[in-house]
Amino acid sequence: MINIFRSYNPINIAWLAVLTLLLRFGYLAHAPSQVEFIFVEPFARLLVPVNYEFALSPFFNVLLASALVFVQALLLNTLVNYFNLAGKPSYLPALMYITLSALFTPFLILSAPLICNFLVILMLYKLFALYQGGGVMAAAYDLGLIVALGSLIYLPFIYLFLVVLIALVTFRPFNWREWTAAILGYATVFFFLAVVYYSTGRMHAFTKIWLPLGTKFPNSISINTYNFLLLIPVAFILVLSAYRLQQHFFKSYVHIRKSYQLLLIFFIVAGLSFYVKATFQLNHFLLCAIPAAIAFAYYFLYSNSRWFYESIYILLLAGIIWFQFNTF
């Protein structure tokens, strides 16, 4: 299967669509009678004055989530090929994203982190373009806006502002105007939100928006033991990807090296920001799927032993399908 997607053949788009649906059949077999979908944070609920949480049946919820994942996979694939992050064009980034977005059952339904992945892709496009040096002030302002919009949808997204600042250090010589533009971009969205709070007489609650950021980092998290089994092949492929990237690291262009360093930082920051939510939600880690998918694609593109890389991927795919049909 991997060998098919290593080529940049448009017919692979059809296969991606088929795989996206196949990886969700197992969940639909055991789907609950109702699935809740929270599109925005409670503090931004004023901006969406309609009841939508249970508007979709589980079937249409999963179907719409599948469509979003498919579109995101194609956008991510275009991003990787445009910036030549993998060295040669293929459909592996899209394949890896579709696979990782089906890793756990909470990933399969509509959620705020899934919606935010559109912003992540747009954000990465602008971050990687910083190295080219054109319109940096406007790009920095846009990046601040993107992080702020993501924070309205899903509060842990706010920590990705650190990634923006680190990217400005990594790709650009220090310029306080660019940093100020990013901060102003973020402040713009919350300024208009403050206006909404003021006009509705709730200004006293506006300052409480950021209180969850002071939540103590948990000593432990509760996760189904069986989910750890699926993480074994994922962790193994991540290690192989890191090793393959390290082999080619100093042979790559400076922009490519800095891009992968930024993806690593993005992965760590996005992963650790889960604690901001009052209750642990596994779908938070959808934010980590994009940088992980790019790393996976790099490994599978340059791995030489076909039987080995095909076996690893089939094992991961089989594990995902098995745990969807077996809820234990």
Burial 296-317 (b: 16+ CB within 10 A, else e): bbbbbbbbeeeeebeebbeebb
pLDDT band at 219 (very low <50, low <70, confident <90, very high): low
Can you give the pLDDT at residue 217?
A: 67
306 vs 217: which has the higher pLDDT: 306
Q: Residue 29's pLDDT band (boundaries 50, 70, 90)?
A: confident
101-129 per-position pLDDT tens digit? 988 888 888 888 999 999 999 999 999 98
Specify the pTM. 0.91
Buried b (16+ CB within 10 A) or exposed e, 200-222: eeeeeeeeebeebeeeeeeeeee
Q: How confident is the model at residue 38 (pLDDT cuts 50, 70, 90)?
A: confident
Overall average pLDDT of the 87-107 stretch? 91
Taking residues 230-238, report their average pLDDT.
Answer: 88
Query: Which is more confident, 241 or 279?
Result: 241
Per-residue pLDDT of 249-306, as tens digits, reads: 766 677 788 888 999 999 999 988 887 776 777 888 999 999 999 999 999 988 888 8
d(Cα 42, Cα 3) in Å, to the nearest integer? 45
Q: Give phi and psi for 37, each to the nearest 5.
A: -130, 115
Structure token pair of residue 51 = 């009841």
Least-confidence region, from 148-157, 244-253, 260-269: 244-253
Instruction: Name, of 43-52, 125-134, 159-168, 280-289, the range with top average pLDDT.
Output: 159-168
235 vs 279 pLDDT, higher one? 235
Q: Which phi and psi (to 5°) does residue 252 adopt?
A: -85, 165
